[in-house]
Amino acid sequence: GAVVSQHPSWVICKSGTSVKIECRSLDFQATTMFWYRQFPKQSLMLMATSNEGSKATYEQGVEKDKFLINHASLTLSTLTVTSAHPEDSSFYICSAARTGTVTDTQYFGPGTRLTVL
Amino acid sequence: AQKVTQAQTEISVVEKEDVTLDCVYETRDTTYYLFWYKQPPSGELVFLIRRNSFDEQNEISGRYSWNFQKSTSSFNFTITASQVVDSAVYFCALIQGQNAGNMLTFGGGTRLMVKP
């Protein structure tokens, strides 16, 4: 159990277009989901915390108008990179914390590799 | 504020050698959870272990072992008889408090290369 999926696994887009990435918890409900960005040979950097039914909390330096997060249900959160530019090319990873547990682990999706041309 | 430091950015060993990956953490909370994750070249994070702040027992799982020492704020990870398949980036991470919905802070990662 505790599987998190991401779609798409990779995407290539032109500069100026928007890209939507989905994160789903397949066999559990997740009140809280997290979005991370990872540049080559670097660690994961938290972008935002997403709670079901409320606005996401963004980390300092992350543009909320550029990275739109929607957590419309207990099993789905989406990250939309609006007007993507080459510097947004990165590996985006989501994680989900299982609802109703106090001490459970966050479960990670397989990541989405975004390349902006 | 919490912080996780992995001082070793890259380690290279020959197969069958033992290797220890260091992790030092900082937190003001008395309740916290420590994790180790493995990230192979595919990119997907693989959960290895979770340890809470009240359980200082060391743990062994096959060739993997973990040494948690609150006195030195360290949570080191040892791979015994390393194999080529162990080559990956390993991350140590911390959640402050006891809610999985709290923020997970990652260390910078240690890239382990095991040569045949």
CA B116, CA B105: separation in Å to the nearest integer?
33
Q: Which of A43, A36, A58, A38 is nearest to A106 (CA)?
A: A36
A104 pLDDT above the threshold of 80: no
| Among candidates A31, A49, A93 on the partner chain, residue whose Cβ is nearest the Cβ of B45 | A93
Banded model confidence at residue A52, pLDDT cuts 50, 70, 90: confident
Cβ distance A103 to B47 less than 8 Å, yes or no, reads no
A103 pLDDT above the threshold of 60: no
Higher pLDDT, A36 or A53: A36
Question: Counting one residue from A and one from B, how many pairs have CB atoms under 8 Å apart?
Answer: 60
pLDDT recorded at residue A98 = 76
A29 at the B interface (CB within 8 A)? no
CA A32, CA A34: separation in Å to the nearest integer?
7
Mutate which of A105, A107, A114, A115 to disrupt the B interface (most B C-beta within 10 Å)? A105
Cβ distance B100 to A113 less than 8 Å, yes or no, reads no
Cβ distance B100 to A111 less than 8 Å, yes or no, reads no
CA B96, CA B99: separation in Å to the nearest integer?
8
Banded model confidence at residue A100, pLDDT cuts 50, 70, 90: low
In chain B the beta strands, taken as DSSP E runs, fall at 3-5, 10-14, 19-21, 24-26, 32-39, 46-52, 59-61, 64-69, 74-79, 88-96, 104-106, 110-115
| Among candidates B42, B100, B107 on the partner chain, residue whose Cβ is nearest the Cβ of A104 | B100
CA A24, CA A26: separation in Å to the nearest integer?
6
CA A51, CA A49: separation in Å to the nearest integer?
7
B102 pLDDT above the threshold of 80: no
Neighbour count for residue A81 (Cβ, 10 Å): 24
A4 pLDDT above the threshold of 80: yes
Which residues of chain A have a CB within 8 Å of the CB of B52? 103
How are beta strands A10-13 and A4-7 bridged, if at all?
unpaired
CA A109, CA B42: separation in Å to the nearest integer?
12
pLDDT tens figures, B26-85: 999 888 999 999 999 989 999 899 888 988 888 889 999 999 999 999 999 999 999 999
Over residues B10-25, the mean pLDDT reads 98
- A residues 90-109 closer than 8 Å to B (CB): 91, 93, 95, 97-98, 101-109
pLDDT recorded at residue A63 = 93
The shortest C-alpha distance from A70 to chain B (Å) reads: 17
Q: What percent of chain A has pLDDT over 90?
A: 73
CA A69, CA A95: separation in Å to the nearest integer?
13
Which residues of chain B have a CB within 8 Å of the CB of A102? 98-100
